[in-house]
A and B are shown apart, each in its own frame.
Chain A
Amino acid sequence: GAGVSQSPRYKVTKRGQDVALRCDPISGHVSLYWYRQALGQGPEFLTYFNYEAQQDKSGLPNDRFSAERPEGSISTLTIQRTEQRDSAMYRCASSLGALVSEQFFGPGTRLTVL
């Protein structure tokens, strides 16, 4: 596709439910990043992949959060047993190389946990 896409764009869920957020990076991009952005804050790093390998997951807040990129393309961020404090914008970005290069961001998924 022309850019990074994310789905759903908006997700409202009840506390305790599991949610899966999807990111479809730009075709051919090696690196994929997940961020969480609270209102009035900058993006906060969660995790990133080079190809299918998860390189760094130090930003995941706890073990309810997990991410995968099984075929080195589409990635899924899963939040189990959601809590109200998980409400935020979840952003995905991809970049061309395994070494640092420009990140291209998707539109984000706005998650609201009731």
Chain B
Amino acid sequence: AQSVSQHNHHVILSEAASLELGCNYSYGGTVNLFWYVQYPGQHLQLLLKYFSGDPLVKGIKGFEAEFIKSKFSFNLRKPSVQWSDTAEYFCAVNEDGNQFYFGTGTSLTVIP
């Protein structure tokens, strides 16, 4: 079975700081990778996804993620965070056509 690790459980940043959230997975085969975000009081929404091709993926709201196959990683980045980025962030992995595995989430708090 797949496992997904998000090592940062809670991150606190000031506005304009840069963000990097770690995500590592265990499966060595072909995977599809996702980052979801859950804003306070809202449901999970897709930030970005990687299926194949360019390992640097651009998502909504200025987020990007880089797939590094040799490191089994798919870290999420944003050069300059805003207060409105305060949310819970989940990394998810899918092995083609099968179930999704989610990480435990990282809570991001951005201080104005």
Contact = CB atoms under 8 A, between A and B. Distances in A.
Interface stretch (B11-19, B41-49, B65-73): B41-49
A106 B4 CA distance: 22
Contacts of A100: 32, 51, 94, 96-97
Name A's interface SS.
Answer: loop
Contacts of B97: 98-100
A59 B1 CA distance: 11
Nearest to B41: A107
A15 B51 CA distance: 43
A44 to B, nearest CB: 7
Contacts of A104: 46
Interface string A80-114: 00000000000101000011101111111000000
Interface of B: 4, 6, 32, 34, 36, 43-46, 49, 51, 90, 92, 94, 96-105
